[in-house]
Structure 1
């Protein structure tokens, strides 16, 4: 079973990742501002379903890989470390265009509830960063010596979904205020990028030197 300390550490990482502006956050804010909070919530349920798909795929994939070919754990670990370092550099590199307000909502057409759900689902499902991050982050929080890899993956996945749902729901409820607040305080966007880059670098170092 996963230790309480490991769950707290993973929860902190999951919180940091969901708070980093990305396709899901931008879409949900734009939809909420354009069509209202209910539309944002319907879209959010679609986003959450895509997370469930990723978690199930990750659970089965990690279990099979670790049980049949243990050396692949090391390969995934190093690939994940390199990817996290790349994300850290991408967040702060000069000329990346990250100085602009990426939370500025886009004008979206009015859509039906069914289409809102599907669009939320596809926005997350087709986001390659979400898929790669599951493979990069989950392995370093899983210890085969503490029991079923499958159950550990499921526990961490459900924890990530819960955190993502709560944070995104709050964002939907205050979408207009969020956009206005960050628009008036661009310095916070810069701080957020540097904090996230530091977290990703620390995770990459931990993953690279983990002997687990």
Structure 2
């Protein structure tokens, strides 16, 4: 009965999740800089962050946030500050010692929990995701659709997001891909830092429509 609505939701989500943004940048950075496990846990964190948006959309809190400039700006500045913090840390990446061979270079370590929280916070604090899910649950999804069905959509959205970014993590954590980026060394970290700082500034300048 709700298949047409579900496929519409799935298509819109696919188009949204495939467009590069903070989630994509952070998963790529973790996958290349730390490795596959960190990238996958970051991807799972991004996917679970979707539950934050789904929950407040179902409760109607997203509507309150969208109507309150104060709440929207608080969320926006918090998210922007987080992206700027990660970005500036990446910009400070230092070159490897000249007398250190590739095999002797220290490997970055990231606990699964830290990687997961990085992805979760990046997605959960994104006010653009707030507006996306608000429009999804108020415009695309019929308000008369049972809450249980809407919750099912939310589970799918979280799962699909996790799968997508796990694939991204697996792609960018391949040895050949990592080796290619590793040759650029600290310049890759700095480039990703520029991207994250740029996304943070863009987010900070976002206006509520």
Structure 2 length as normaliser, TM-score? Answer: 0.57
1:202 — aligned with what?
none
Contact 1:29 1:40 in 2 (8 A): yes
Contact 1:142 1:152 in 2 (8 A): no
C-alpha RMSD of matched pairs (Å):
3.0
Unaligned runs of 5+ in 1: 66-71, 77-105, 181-212
Asked whether 1:123 is paired with 2:122, we answer yes
Asked whether 1:29 is paired with 2:38, we answer no
Contact 2:44 2:166 in 1 (8 A): no
Asked whether 1:168 is paired with 2:136, we answer no
**Between Structure 1 and Structure 2, how many residues are aligned?**
139
1:92 — aligned with what?
none
2:149 — aligned with what?
152
Q: 1:125, 1:10 → 2: CA distance?
A: 19
Q: 2:21, 2:143 → 1: CA distance?
A: 32
Following superposition, the deviation at residue 165 of structure 1 comes to: 1.5
Deviations 1:112-149 (A, max 9, x none): 2222122121111121111111001222222244x42x
Following superposition, the deviation at residue 32 of structure 1 comes to: 0.3
Q: 2:132, 2:3 → 1: CA distance?
A: 22
- Change beyond 3 A, Cα 1:166–1:129: same
Contact 1:138 1:156 in 2 (8 A): no
Aligned positions of 1:52-67 closer than 5 A: 52-61=51-60
Q: 1:18, 1:30 → 2: CA distance?
A: 17
Contact 1:55 1:154 in 2 (8 A): yes
Asked whether 1:135 is paired with 2:137, we answer no
1:10 — aligned with what?
9
Alignment partner of 1:174: what SS?
Answer: helix
Structure 1 length as normaliser, TM-score? Answer: 0.57
Following superposition, the deviation at residue 8 of structure 1 comes to: 1.1
Deviations 1:77-99 (A, max 9, x none): xxxxxxxxxxxxxxxxxxxxxxx
Following superposition, the deviation at residue 42 of structure 1 comes to: 1.3
- Change beyond 3 A, Cα 1:144–1:119: closer
Q: 2:131, 2:153 → 1: CA distance?
A: 16
Following superposition, the deviation at residue 50 of structure 1 comes to: 1.6
Following superposition, the deviation at residue 176 of structure 1 comes to: 5.5
